[in-house]
């Protein structure tokens, strides 16, 4: 999931995109007088494209609030990119008022420079959460994939497909950048740690279990 964000597509597009925006209330940033829901912000760190996803949890049920990406490819200066990460994560926290942050830990690969850059991006996002007093929970990529699909080596596409079923997402709610669904996966992984979930979707023991029971939906299964 922590693929090298330096290899991101060079195509033009908006600097930020969102999907499935179901904000609570208006943009005044104030919570309702009584709301027993819990908001979880998930982040997939990146230096070119950073994904974020927000879940609302009521009891044992989770629903999508918003997911999207912070696209920094047009900004050449690395330090200004870090500043943009801090500003946008701060803005997301101010707008959606998360109770907790679930963030993916940097993947320990062979490219030391990429690891350092991802570590900086993660650190800045964490600093924004600390600045707002938001509790932080860090999950390894393998743990997130295992929690969502039952397969620690699952692809981004497999993670996104499983999330679509678990959260009953429409096709038009799926983002162009899978960094967003990776971030949503971090949030859903944390949701699973809170207790036994209830969703309208059928649960499967693993990605293999899902593929076997849905061969018509999986190309090459």
Asked, for residue 116, whether it belongs to a domain, the answer is: yes
Q: What pLDDT sits at residue 204? A: 44
Q: What pLDDT sits at residue 214? A: 56
Q: Classify the C-alpha dihedral 182-104-59-196 as positive or negative.
A: positive
Which residue range is the domain that position 151 belongs to? 13-217
Strand, helix or coil for residue 87: helix
Q: How many domains does the chain have?
A: 1
Residue with the larger pLDDT of the pair 203 and 123: 123
Average pLDDT, the chain: 79
- Residue pair 66/23 in contact (Cβ under 8 Å)? The answer is yes
Asked if the model's pLDDT at residue 217 lies above 70, the reply is: no
Asked, for residue 45, whether it belongs to a domain, the answer is: yes
- Active site members: 44, 104, 179
Instruction: Look at residues 85, 70, 65, 62 and name the one whose alpha carbon lies nearest to residue 19.
Output: 65
Residue with the larger pLDDT of the pair 28 and 49: 49
Asked, for residue 172, whether it belongs to a domain, the answer is: yes
Give the other-Cβ count within 10 Å of 218's Cβ: 14
Asked if the model's pLDDT at residue 161 lies above 50, the reply is: yes
Q: By mean pLDDT, which of 33-37, 55-59, 98-102 is the weakest?
A: 33-37
Burial 187-200 (b: 16+ CB within 10 A, else e): bbbbbeeeeebebe
Distance CA 162, CA 125 (A): 26
Instruction: Look at residues 134, 121, 129 and name the one whose alpha carbon lies nearest to residue 85.
Output: 121
Asked, for residue 7, whether it belongs to a domain, the answer is: no
Mean pLDDT of 178-183: 96
CATH number reported for the structural domain that contains residue 120 in this entry: 3.30.420.10
Give the pLDDT band of residue 194 (cuts 50, 70, 90): confident
Q: What pLDDT sits at residue 179? A: 95
The tens digit of pLDDT for each residue in 69-116 reads 999 999 999 999 999 999 999 999 999 999 999 999 877 666 788 888
Asked, for residue 38, whether it belongs to a domain, the answer is: yes
Asked if the model's pLDDT at residue 197 lies above 80, the reply is: no
CA 100 to chain centre: 13
């Amino acid at each position: 999931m922590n693929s090298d964000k330096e290899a991101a597509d060079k195509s033009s597009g908006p600097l930020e995109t969102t999907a499935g925006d179901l904000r609570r209330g208006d943009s005044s940033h104030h919570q309702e007088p009584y709301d027993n829901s819990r908001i979880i912000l998930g982040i997939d760190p990146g230096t070119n494209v950073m994904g974020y996803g927000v879940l609302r949890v009521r009891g044992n049920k989770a629903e999508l609030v918003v997911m999207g990406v912070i696209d920094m490819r047009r900004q050449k200066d690395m330090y200004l990119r870090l500043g943009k990460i801090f500003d946008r994560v701060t803005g997301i926290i101010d707008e959606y008022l998360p109770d907790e942050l679930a963030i993916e830990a940097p993947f320990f690969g062979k490219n030391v420079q990429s690891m350092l850059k991802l570590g900086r991006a993660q650190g800045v996002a964490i600093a924004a959460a600390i600045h707002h007093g938001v509790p932080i929970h860090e999950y390894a990529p393998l743990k997130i994939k295992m929690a969502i699909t039952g397969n620690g080596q699952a692809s981004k596409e497999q993670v996104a497909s499983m999330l679509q079923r678990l959260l009953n997402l429409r096709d038009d709610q799926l983002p162009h950048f899978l960094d967003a669904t990776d971030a949503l996966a971090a949030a859903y992984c944390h949701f699973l740690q809170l207790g036994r979930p209830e969703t309208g979707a059928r649960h499967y023991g693993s990605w293999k279990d899902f593929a076997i029971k849905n061969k018509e939906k999986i190309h090459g299964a």
